[in-house]
Amino acid sequence: MWALFRFSTFFAVIGVIAAGVHFYVYRRMVRDTTLSHRLRLVGLIAAACLFALFIVCRVLQRFIPAANSFLVPLSSMTWFWMGFATYLAFALWALGVLRWLAGWFRRTAGTLAKRPVPATSAERRLFLSRAIAGGALLASGGLTTYGAWRAYSAPEISDIPVRLPKLSPKMDGFTIVQVSDIHLSDLIGRRFMDELVRRCNALNPDLVAITGDLVDGSVPHLANAASALMNLRSRYGTFFVTGNHDYYSGDRAWSEALTKMGIRVLRNRWTTIGGPDAGFDLVGVDDWGAAGRYRMTGYNLDKALAGRDPERAAVLLAHQPANFTVAAERGMGLQLSGHTHGGQFFPVTALIPLRYPRYAGLYGHRDSTMYVSRGTGFWGPPLRLGSPPEIVKVTLTS
């Protein structure tokens, strides 16, 4: 019930925002720029259809996970449109404010000079509305074009040194390459994955960690693209923990498929990295959001730590940057997370701190550290603006 309430609330907020954006764009781009009733009607119908398609895709993806593989491309295109429409609405609003300010200064100047200010003619109002619409279209088109290019271009390499409590000096310089939130789908395919693997291997890591949200689709649909991960090269191998989208796409099926590819799946358990006298424990937990939604799985830190020597250094892989304080107090010297995408694109980048106080970068609690990745791929609109994708290279020091 709680999960359904959260979805309903989120859906309602998104619906209201989307409806407002579509109506505002229709009003400024169509109604204010033409006197033709037929064109206004066509524009209104088009805006209503785009809004309805956006909402329908959200509902189907939530309640028919089996259709995810086929819905992702259409859904992503509606998200891309929503991103473009949002930038268009912002540009229209900004230029509209400038237009109002110009009119206010003109009227104020006329009042101070004690001369009448002629009313703006209908022809001039139509011309100004069209000029604003054209300028907004150019501005939003430029932003979305750059955002799409950044989403598909090579991720940045974030080189992060981290002191890991209780780590033996013999392990100084141990490197973990973290990739997160790839969201493999029809929009992010084998070519993207091959380049990602190449860049990870170039960092010569000791260990590779995939911190959830690897896929948006079924194993049969995406297995070929995902198999690129078999080419990852590191001294201790590749490890994976589930994210919420991996549950939507079939967590058990993907866990089995990744295991067959040679990737070690950590589902609420730990494993030893290095020797017993000079290594550390790598702990993996299931997605935080899955707890209570699925009967047999979900975040379970107690189960993940069962039987572990608390005097050993430990690194926790957890998809969401949740429960960090508790994990730190349970001896996790480093937590690697993702999920937030750092907001992914403006204006979400400005709002994400309201939902996730720890949303991107390094955070600390006592002697422990958490790094929250901005993600390597994208979800929703194929846009990255204000939050570039990243591959994280963590260098451990004692």
Q: What is the DSSP string of 66-111?
A: GGHHHHHHHHHHHHHHHHHHHHHHHHHHHHHHHHHHHHHHHHHHHH
One domain for residues 307 and 230: yes
User: 247-278: per-residue pLDDT in tens?
Assistant: 888 899 999 999 999 999 999 999 999 877 78
Domain at 216, CATH number:
3.60.21.10
Rounded distance between C-alpha atoms, residue 51 and residue 302, angstroms? 44
pLDDT tens, position by position, 368-384: 999 999 999 998 788 89
In this prediction the pTM is 0.84
Q: Work out the burial of residue 309: count CB atoms within 10 Å of its CB; fewer than 13 is exposed, 13-18 middle, 19 or more buried.
A: exposed
Quick one: 123 and 162 in the same domain? Answer: no
pLDDT of 353 over the 70 cut = yes
- Which of residues 122, 150, 178 is at a domain's end? 150
The encoded tokens of residue 170 equal 């013999």
pLDDT value of position 231:
97
Q: Closest Cα to residue 135, out of 78, 77, 87, 83?
A: 87
Q: Report CA 309 to chain centroid distance, whole Å.
A: 35
What share of the chain has pLDDT > 90, as a percent?
Answer: 64
- What is the count of structural domains for the chain? 2
Sequence-distant (≥ 6) Cβ neighbours of residue 242 within 8 angstroms: 212, 251, 254, 255, 265, 267, 286, 287, 290, 297, 319
d(CA 229, CA 314): 25
> Tokens 């702990």 label which residue?
283
CA atoms of 157 and 262, how far apart (whole Å): 25
Of 93, 128, 150, which residue constitutes the final position of a domain?
150
In angstroms, the Cα distances linking 93 to 21, 106, 159 are 11, 20, 39
Give CA–CA dist 292/347, Å, rounded. Answer: 31
Q: Indicate the residue among 130, 150, 170 that finishes a domain.
A: 150
Look at residue 324 and tell me whether its pLDDT is greater than 80: yes
